[in-house]
């Protein structure tokens, strides 16, 4: 009589391998969904600064500020472009009556998200016509030489509005006006560690007169930088945040 036991064993082994393969496939699918859910939660959760940008004093020297309202469409745009924190405030100089809008955006969860907040990207989206950009610099009150870009836009007829914008960036505590510094693969990698000191921030100061934005930048930049991590990850604003006066002279 023929012995059929080896055939039975081979058939059983085949079923075992098939079941094992199915189990591994199911487990890999579950693992993928869990990891995808984890990263989605990670990227949907903004990385917080030690002191929020909203805590920037409303009075800086002669400048007195008031928060500007942010339309829902703008908030959605900010979230879509990975803004972890931002400030939009109009400051008026009590001595000269000059005014300047100060806009600061901080991107850490996806540092290169700052590219979506460039003036040449966001202003045309709101019907501003781009007139040109020139590299420049200014000296802060503390004597820092700050490189910057000066952008000019206008609104077509019948509005005829004009605006001039001074902007620069802070990359991990280093000031730069070169957008190539953070537009490469480094900036596009997600900040999985959630380190607030890995970031790109943009400071944008706008008005109708170039003298207004330059004066505001000179008076405010040192304080603005105190709210962002320096090269060592330190946020100086955390040291004086308990000062509730909201005034810096």
* pLDDT tens digits along 46-79: 789 999 999 999 999 999 999 998 777 666 766 6
Joined together, the tokens standing for residue 213 give 């934005």
CB-CB neighbours of 62 under 10 Å: 15
Q: Is the pTM of this model over 0.75?
A: yes
CB-CB neighbours of 133 under 10 Å: 15
Co-location of 144 and 240 in the same domain = yes
Look at residue 9 and tell me whether its pLDDT is greater than 60.
no
pLDDT tier, 240 (very low <50, low <70, confident <90, very high otherwise): confident
Co-location of 19 and 111 in the same domain = no
pLDDT tier, 32 (very low <50, low <70, confident <90, very high otherwise): very low
Co-location of 40 and 74 in the same domain = no
Residues 6+ apart with CB under 8 A from 226: 235, 236, 237
Look at residue 227 and tell me whether its pLDDT is greater than 60.
yes
Look at residue 37 and tell me whether its pLDDT is greater than 50.
no
Co-location of 93 and 192 in the same domain = yes
Class of residue 145 by CB neighbours under 10 A (exposed 0-12, middle 13-18, buried 19+)? exposed
Question: What residues make up the domain containing 165?
Answer: 53-248
Co-location of 87 and 131 in the same domain = yes
Number of domains the chain is built from? 2
Co-location of 162 and 135 in the same domain = yes
Co-location of 8 and 67 in the same domain = no
**What is the CA 238 to chain-centroid distance, rounded?**
20
CB-CB neighbours of 236 under 10 Å: 17
Class of residue 64 by CB neighbours under 10 A (exposed 0-12, middle 13-18, buried 19+)? middle
Co-location of 39 and 142 in the same domain = no
Co-location of 95 and 190 in the same domain = yes
Co-location of 117 and 177 in the same domain = yes
Co-location of 87 and 200 in the same domain = yes
**Cα separation values, 173 from 109, 169, 201, Å:** 16, 9, 9
Class of residue 90 by CB neighbours under 10 A (exposed 0-12, middle 13-18, buried 19+)? middle
Co-location of 7 and 117 in the same domain = no
């Amino acid at each position: 009589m023929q012995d059929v036991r080896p055939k039975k064993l081979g058939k059983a082994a085949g079923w075992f391998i098939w079941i094992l393969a199915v189990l591994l496939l199911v487990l890999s699918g579950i693992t993928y969904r869990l990891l995808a859910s984890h990263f989605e939660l990670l990227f949907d959760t903004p990385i917080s600064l030690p002191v929020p940008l909203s805590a920037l004093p409303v009075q800086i020297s002669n400048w007195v500020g008031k928060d500007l309202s942010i339309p829902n469409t703008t908030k959605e745009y900010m979230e879509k472009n990975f803004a972890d924190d931002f400030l939009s405030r109009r400051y008026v100089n009590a001595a000269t009556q000059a005014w300047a809008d100060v806009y600061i955006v901080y991107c850490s969860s996806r540092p290169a998200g700052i590219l979506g907040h460039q003036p040449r990207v966001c202003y045309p989206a709101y019907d501003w016509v781009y007139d040109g950009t020139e590299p420049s610099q200014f000296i802060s009150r503390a004597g820092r030489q700050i490189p910057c870009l000066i952008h000019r836009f206008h609104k077509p007829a019948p509005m005829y509005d004009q605006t001039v914008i001074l902007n620069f960036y802070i990359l991990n505590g280093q000031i730069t006006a070169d957008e190539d510094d953070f537009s490469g693969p480094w900036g596009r990698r997600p900040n999985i560690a959630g380190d607030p000191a890995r970031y790109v921030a943009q400071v944008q100061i706008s008005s109708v007169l170039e003298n207004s934005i330059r004066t505001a930048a000179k008076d405010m930049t040192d304080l603005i930088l105190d709210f962002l991590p320096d090269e060592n990850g330190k946020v100086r604003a955390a040291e004086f945040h308990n000062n509730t006066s909201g005034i810096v002279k």
